[in-house]
Chains A and B, each alone.
Chain A
Amino acid sequence: MASSGSIDWAKVIADPRFQTLHRRKTRFLWGLMAFSVVYYFMLPMGAAYFQDLFKVKVWGVINVGLLFALSEFAVAWGIAVYYSHVANRDFDRMAKEIAADFHMQVGA
């Protein structure tokens, strides 16, 4: 672990580009996380407390509850794809720029 001493980590943290990356990532990740947790727990809550709504038939015998459960899959996949898209487009590029600079400084 001593090998990493060659980089001044405080300087990395203080770098304005790191600050931007950190800010955007924090907001994005925790926002998405909160949304997914809330959306997930709506399912058992709904199944317990809104049974009348869940029983409403919308498509043949298929009811709101079944569609809502299926939507959980769509939402989970949607979050995964959306996050990957943003991370691949923005976060990776920003991280790579910072990493390239500091690797150069230690001559790695």
Chain B
Amino acid sequence: MRNLTSRRWALACAAPLLFAALPALASGVVAAKYELMTWAVFAAVILITVYITYVAAKRIRSASDFYTAGGGISGFQNGWAIAGDYLSAASFLGIAGLISLYGYDGFMFSVGWLVAYITVLLLIAEPCRNIGKYTLSDILAYRNDPKWTRVVGALSVITVSTFYLTAQMVGGGVLIKTLIGIDYEWSVLGVGVLMLSYVLFGGMVATTWVQIVKAVLLVTASVIIVMLVWTPYGFSLPGFLADVVGDPKVQARVAVLLGDPSKTMSAAELGQRFLEPGLLYKVPIDQISLGMALVFGTAGLPHILMRFFTVPTAVQARRSVVWAMVIIGGFYVLTLFLGFGAAKNVGPATIAAVDAGGNLAGPLLAQYIGGGPDSVMGNFMLAFVSAVAFATIVAVVAGLVLAAASAMAHDLYVGVYHGGETVPAKQQVTAARIATVLVGAIAITIGIAAKGQNVAVLVALAFAVAASANFPCVLLTLYWKRCNTTGVVAGMIVGTVAAVGLTLVSPNLTYPKAVRAASTKVLEAEAGKRVAIMAALQSGDAKQIADATKTAAALDKAVAKAKADMAKVEGQETSFIGLEKPLFELRNPGLYSIPLGFLAVLLGSLLGRDRRSEEMWDEVYARQNTGLLVSKSQAH
């Protein structure tokens, strides 16, 4: 057993070395074969993961192997796997992108993603390990009525996972299309099929190792790029940042973001403004609401909670969170350099032109650092980072599918349908595999159907439901003596309904009237601007002409976008659910929905009575604190 684990660990460690050795080979490739090279890098990453799955598949015999790798993962390994599970394309590419486009605010955004793990470490990880078995509902059902809590728990888990899953599928499809030009539908299908093969054959064992390999690749790629970006400054932070704020591309970006007020500012002031707050977040309360959803929602994400059942003891669960925090936090510190480095070297305007959300800042920086778009190294670096992005999406999606499938098979089929009676091991694994295929097929279908949808709203929803429904129910079941079935059922329902309901009436959705008004404003202003541009072009002054040419290009783009937006909302008057304007002003509902979720558990528990919840309290509380009997339940 130990031998197998260490061999696989060696494999995970060897992966980045393999890539480090590749540039030497790649430099022999001629210019016209960049595409082939890209495919070779992708194939290498896919082959590694498929091999892992092949080895892992032989070890899947019981439901425990399938859901939790038999509890045989070490804390250090699990730390890497959590990082692999958590650093989705959104945080890997998205945060670097936000920093490259908005400077300070982008970096500030990354902090909440790390702080979230303090909640997990202090309140959730160890008690969950001591009480639970495979799923979030196991914790709730241990104390409360098993049928009721499994039903509401499983529904909430499936809801959260589906929102997150769809966001990943849509985001991934767009990303792969932009990076390597595969059609959106094929990208989604490719991600889906590959992910299904890991989970279906290799269960949690394969998923864990795919996540570990992906995290190692991601960190390696980032460290290499940051080293290359930072070396010229002798690893001086002020030196590097001084160069960033002194760059005309960055100063021009700040001028665009600030609009008219920027006219009285000097170039140096504009550059410095990039390191100051307020370029992205204008509504402070929005920021705080989002922060709450992150800090409390992460502790309610089913695919993250599930990771704590893969380690044998509470001590290992604690160790895994600490390692995860080191890796995740270290990665976000690296994104500071990735983001600012991309702004300085590639330029915010170029980054935004390729992808409006800035998602390609990291890959474009890699290409620049390697020698630019016409160099072999540059394209190899681009291919490598793209392959890592691909692996990222697949690994995160695999974790999510496993969480949703376990809720279906373990909670609904075995727990509710069979009433928790002993179902033979083989049948449990079969049920888990059928649920996996089902969830995978749903994910692919929704992913393709949701083409072009706004995925930010889905991520906001996933975190909001996790923070407002799952988190209060798990926390109070573990720590509050009076908590009972009525409270948990009420909390799950109220938390989910509040989070989803408030998001549906929030500014996240598209409101045709507002879109039309904004587009009309752009189109009406066009004529006046054209006159000014013409005047400048005829002025004969070289600088004025250059500026006017740039303004004209920007205007063309803005007009094209306004026309496209108009066409998109053609004939529509209201948002998806029939509103003309948002009823609720916050982009993230956490500020209201989290307290509502807690309130529902409190009131439900005080109003309802449940003997089982009361009788089990002593056992739950003693066990979550001492880990009594955990070693015994692990034995079989």
Interface residues of A (CB under 8 A from B): 1, 3-4, 7, 9-10, 12-13, 18, 21-22, 25, 29, 32-33, 36-37, 40-41, 43-45, 47-49, 51, 54-55, 57, 59-63, 65-66, 69-70, 72-73, 76-77, 79-81, 83-84, 87-88, 92, 95, 98-99, 102-103, 108
Contacts and interface: CB of A to CB of B under 8 A. Distances in A.
B111 A45 contact: no
A18 B122 contact: no
Interface residues of B, number: 54
Interface string B101-142: 000110110011011011101110000000000000000001
Contact of B108 (A1, A32, A44, A92): A44
5 closest A-B pairs by CB: A60-B238, A48-B284, A47-B277, A9-B618, A12-B622
B276 A79 contact: no
Given A33-B122, A48-B287, A95-B627, A40 B111 contact: yes
Interface of B: 104-105, 107-108, 111-112, 114-115, 117-119, 121-123, 142, 237-239, 241-242, 245, 272, 275-278, 281, 284, 287-288, 291, 295, 315, 318-319, 321-322, 325-326, 329, 332-333, 618-619, 621-623, 625-629, 632-633
A66 B242 CA distance: 13
A47 B278 contact: yes
A43 B108 contact: yes
Given A76-B114, A77-B325, A80-B321, A51 B625 contact: no
Contacts of A9: 618-619, 622
Given A77-B325, A95-B626, A63 B332 contact: no
Given A4-B619, A61-B238, A45 B284 contact: yes
A51 B288 contact: no
A61 B287 contact: no
B275 A62 contact: yes
A1 B139 CA distance: 12
11 contacts: A47-B278, A47-B284, A48-B281, A51-B278, A55-B276, A60-B242, A61-B238, A80-B325, A87-B318, A95-B625, A103-B628
A45 B112 CA distance: 13
Contacts of A62: 237-238, 241, 275
A12 B622 CA distance: 7
A73 to B, nearest CB: 5
Contacts of B622: 9, 12-13, 18
B322 A73 contact: no
B288 A44 contact: yes
| From A57, A84, A99, residue with most partner B Cβ within 10 Å | A99
Give the residue among A3, A25, A80 with the most B Cβ atoms within 10 A. Answer: A80
Contacts of A60: 238-239, 241-242
A70 B287 CA distance: 18
Contact of B118 (A21, A76, A87): A76
B628 A47 contact: no
Nearest to B141: A1
Contacts of A48: 277, 281, 284, 287
Contact of A43 (B111, B238, B632): B111
Contacts of A49: 284
B122 A7 contact: no
Given A4-B623, A7-B628, A80-B117, 11 more contacts: A1-B142, A32-B118, A36-B118, A48-B281, A49-B284, A59-B238, A60-B239, A69-B111, A77-B326, A84-B318, A108-B629
Q: Interface centre among B142, B288, B318, by most A CB within 10 Å?
A: B318
A44 B115 CA distance: 13
B21 to A, nearest CB: 32
Contacts of A44: 108, 281, 284, 287-288, 291
A51 B115 contact: no
A40 B242 contact: no
Contacts of A33: 118-119, 122-123
B238 A72 contact: no
B107 A29 contact: no
Given A44-B287, A60-B242, A12 B626 contact: yes
B277 A108 contact: no
A10 B322 CA distance: 33
A79 B154 CA distance: 33
Given A66-B275, A84-B322, A87-B318, A29 B627 contact: no
Nearest to A59: B238
Contacts of B318: 84, 87
Contact of B333 (A13, A47, A73): A73
A50 B629 CA distance: 51
A41 B111 CA distance: 10
Contact of A76 (B276, B325, B632): B325
B275 A102 contact: no
B315 A92 contact: yes
B241 A37 contact: no
B625 A22 contact: yes
Contacts of A99: 626-628
B333 A40 contact: no
A12 B618 contact: yes
A12 B315 CA distance: 21
Contacts of B325: 76-77, 80
A4 B276 contact: no
B277 A13 contact: no
B104 A65 contact: yes
Contact of A41 (B121, B288, B628): B288
Nearest to A22: B625
Task: Indicate the member of B245, B287, B326, B629 with the most A CB atoms within 10 Å.
Answer: B629
Contact of B123 (A29, A54, A69, A70): A29
B111 A73 contact: yes
